Structure 1
Amino acid sequence: MATFDRAYTDSLLTYLAASPTPYHAVAQAAELLDKAGFRRLSETAAWDAQAGGQYVIRGGAMVAWYLPPGAEASRPFRLIGSHTDSPNLRVKPIPDTGSAGWRQVAVEVYGGTLYNTWLDRDLGLAGRLSLRNGDELLVNIDRPLLRVPQLAVHLDRGVNGEGLKLNPQVHLTPVWGLGEPVRGELIEFVAAEYGLRPAAVLGWDLMLHDVAAPAYVGRDADMITASRLDNLMSVHAGVVAMVTAVEEGLDDGPIPVLAAMDHEEAGSVSTTGALGPFLETVLERLVETRGGGVDARARAYAGSVMASSDLAHAVHPNYPERHDAGHRPRANGGPVLKVNLNQRYATDGATRAVWARACEAAGVPWQTFVSRNDQPCGTTIGPLAASRLGIAAFDIGVPALSMHSARELCGADDPWRLAAALTAFLHLE
């Protein structure tokens, strides 16, 4: 039987269901922080050295921190890094299209998604609208609205033997009605859902999502399946770790920071990505508001460590040979330390020891992942943020199957273990 913390996992599934886009993910994270007494700051306002929990939001990214009373300017940071975006299908600037009597919505593939997993699913539409009055409105039409239909096997006789071949420009355009398309009708529809006139909407960032709810799976309910486990599971764990560690007391230790960045799946090159200035600017301001300059900042960074948390690859029962024989993480075996000496992951021996201490303090088992030499691995915000800031880092994550699918799978024990280990990491001197 599963031994997971049911209350924690329930809260994770609730968070995932309410966060179909990066904008919703940071809004939901902000609600959790608000309940814990954190306060939101504006980037355009002057900051002071007031102690306590605070955070800032920029688009689909968030940086949160807890400033202990009297913390000197050179006090180091303990950072938890993650990302809010997931591979998906996103609406093009001129979305209204169609063919052969079907009304469709033009989409662009975002990130390295598995194309076939978006076929024959009930899809909703969510994101943000930029309004004429300068406001932004989060929208979430969380019901079956669109569908990408697969070609019937009768018309593609070789599909099972030769494999499915999809052209993302041609074959991933969803249908959402019958008849001829009308320019402007999608935005008119979304605006009407929220009681707006179409003329009030000047911009939008909209994306598709699977409307099936996150769920427990298996004979013993020892697995969970959901969309966007990569990487909202890590965002949620980071928020819980931050709140828990603050409640337990952090006044004498390093300054805890949560960095939930956007656009990791597209390379992190944006104003809200790990290669952009957002996190760096926040850290600099936290040093300078306490009277520090270049020297204090350099000393703080030199003593800092980042835990970069992103989904990891569990060994697949149908493809075990795709893993290195000595490094095959198992679901419910504990979170995974990810290593790549070519710097696709940031872990080295020194930061491995930090992670080992955190897991030991939390009483959490952990595993190690290394790619096969003949199979390159992915990367994370870990080496990107580490190289930009000069802060030591290591990469970790919960082992899962179907990474970058429209719906992913992991063990139910591992999410709360990740949060527990991250909480212990924030307490490390």
Structure 2
Amino acid sequence: MSTKEVVLAVARRFLSFVDESPSPYHAVDQIKKKLVAAGFQELREANTWNVKPNAKYFVTKNQSTIIAFAVGGQFKPGNGFSIVGAHTDSPCLKVKPMSIVNKSGYNMVGVECYGGGIWHTWFDRDLKLAGRVLVRNGDKIEHRLVHVRKPILKVPNICIHLQRDHNEKHSVNKESHVCPILATSVQSALNGNNSSTDKDENKSGQTSSKLQPLLVQLLCDELQVSPDQLLDFDLHLADTQPSAIGGILDEFVFAPRLDNLLNAYTSAVGLIDSCADSSLEKEPNIRMISLFDNEEVGSQSAQGAGSSFQEFVLRRLSAGGSQTAFEEAIPKSYLLSADQAHAIHPNYSEKHESNHQPALHKGIVVKINSNQRYASTGITNTILREVSRLGDVPLQDFVVRNDTPCGSTIGPIMSAKLGMPTVDIGAPQLSMHSIREMCCTTSVWQAESLYKSFFINYPQVYNSMNF
């Protein structure tokens, strides 16, 4: 195939993953399926592990975070870890624990704004529901995924006739304005549903009493359970519009959740592809991807990058060597903190520093900040540049303007916690944190290629460092 055909084929596979990953739980489930198909074995965090060289494993936490690793054939405790870290969550609207809202003749669903989304982009979109539900099945409690693909919710804009300054001043109150409509009270009553919010009628405390009756009915139909089996839920709203290859030259990706499903997916593909030949047999390191939940809200959770989950996994894999095997492994290791980057915007080009304007198609972006909002250093940048040279993947640099606040990633969190050399990178994109984001098809291919090169070549690059 020509290069363009290869790039498009890679991008289409990624878009299929995005469309099947409307929540972190679905993203982890999709990645698990890819790993199992590639010969990875699942481990349980609470069980004893019997990890062997030249074998492949994964472990999950909260069903929304996953760490997968391939053990080098020459690995021994005290050797290094080659890690790509990314995250599975994205800004979204999440259903509140008690979400029944009935107002002005409408049955509505109370939602909470998760992360730093561009919330006005959620208006006038056809919204679906997805996430996880905890269900009682006999004497067992089960974790069930749910993905209602039908557009059942909408947050309508106010018409311009009732707010004449709409185009000049558009301020969204996240509590009162961002509340999606599910149905009208009239049709709900005709359907036989009682949407009363009288607290005295909900004294049972059942989960089913916290949701609109129509929503309970829908979830029960989807999961083939009865209302009294519903124990708890974590439900996300998502756009029903499928992802697409766009632009007159088929060069763009139009999709939700590019931040950060692009790096979650491509790092998994890079890990799997790096094990497709015999290189793992001669590998001294453990190749690893760590895909965390809750990055968009600060990573401070049991399943976030700020937890001890990563450290505990690394310590278990370092067991069996000397008493300081873990400490010996850390300086030999390297973390690629992979999160999306800001491409230059043609309509807001003044927002970028003049010498640092990442463009689409021109390579993966190295993110640098002297105030340590990114973890990149001269040494870690050099390592990455060697890895990219060996993989024939171009790189670009990004530094935020001095008069603009700098975002951050899991990179500084994990590098400070572990003391591990780290570099912050990402594919360039536009519309970050919008309900619909935009990047280029080339970035998907470049990310997969870079991560594969990293897993195969990092030990060689590390051994070449003469200091």
TM-score over 0.5 for the alignment? yes
Return the match for 1:119 from 108, 120, 123: 123
Cross-structure match for 2:237:
208
Cross-structure match for 2:173:
167
Cross-structure match for 1:416:
445
1:34 CA drift (Å): 0.7
Return the match for 1:55 from 48, 54, 58: 58
204 and 359 in structure 1: CA distance in 2 versus 1, 3 angstrom threshold? same
Cross-structure match for 1:85:
89
Task: Find the aligned partners of 1:417 and 1:374 in 2 and give their Cα distance.
Answer: 31
Return the match for 1:338 from 346, 367, 370: 367
Cross-structure match for 2:333:
304
1:2 CA drift (Å): 8.3
User: Which deviations, in whole Å up to 9, do the C-alpha atoms of 1:298-351 show, x marking residues without a partner?
Assistant: 111111000010010000010000000000000111110001111111101001
Mapping of 1:14-413 within 5 angstroms? 14-51=16-53, 52-59=55-62, 60-132=64-136, 133-161=140-168, 163-179=169-185, 181-182=195-196, 183=209, 184=211, 185=213, 186-248=215-277, 249-253=279-283, 254-288=285-319, 291-413=320-442
1:193 CA drift (Å): 2.0
1:58 CA drift (Å): 1.0
5+ residue gaps, structure 1: none
The letter for the 1-side match of 2:286 is I
Aligned residues: 426
Q: Percent identity at matched positions?
A: 36
SS in 1 for 2:141: coil
User: Which deviations, in whole Å up to 9, do the C-alpha atoms of 1:230-265 show, x marking residues without a partner?
Assistant: 000000111011001111322333211100000000
1:358 CA drift (Å): 1.4
Task: Find the aligned partners of 2:264 and 2:281 in 1 and give their Cα distance.
Answer: 23
Task: Find the aligned partners of 2:446 and 2:336 in 1 and give their Cα distance.
Answer: 14
Task: Find the aligned partners of 1:256 and 1:69 in 2 and give their Cα distance.
Answer: 11
Given that 2:12 and 2:245 are in contact with CA atoms closer than 8 Å, whether structure 1 keeps it comes out as: no
The letter for the 2-side match of 1:58 is K
SS in 1 for 2:234: strand
User: Which deviations, in whole Å up to 9, do the C-alpha atoms of 1:53-89 show, x marking residues without a partner?
Assistant: 1000112000000112352101100000000000000
TM-score, normalised to structure 2, is: 0.89
324 and 2 in structure 1: CA distance in 2 versus 1, 3 angstrom threshold? farther
Task: Find the aligned partners of 1:130 and 1:333 in 2 and give their Cα distance.
Answer: 44
Q: Give the CA RMSD over aligned residues.
A: 1.3
411 and 381 in structure 1: CA distance in 2 versus 1, 3 angstrom threshold? same
SS in 2 for 1:169: coil
SS in 1 for 2:25: helix
Given that 2:333 and 2:421 are in contact with CA atoms closer than 8 Å, whether structure 1 keeps it comes out as: yes
1:188 CA drift (Å): 3.7
Q: Which has the larger radius of gyration?
A: 2
Given that 1:2 and 1:222 are in contact with CA atoms closer than 8 Å, whether structure 2 keeps it comes out as: no
1:419 CA drift (Å): 1.1
Given that 2:262 and 2:444 are in contact with CA atoms closer than 8 Å, whether structure 1 keeps it comes out as: yes
Given that 1:2 and 1:221 are in contact with CA atoms closer than 8 Å, whether structure 2 keeps it comes out as: no
Given that 1:84 and 1:260 are in contact with CA atoms closer than 8 Å, whether structure 2 keeps it comes out as: yes
The letter for the 2-side match of 1:414 is S
TM-score, normalised to structure 1, is: 0.97
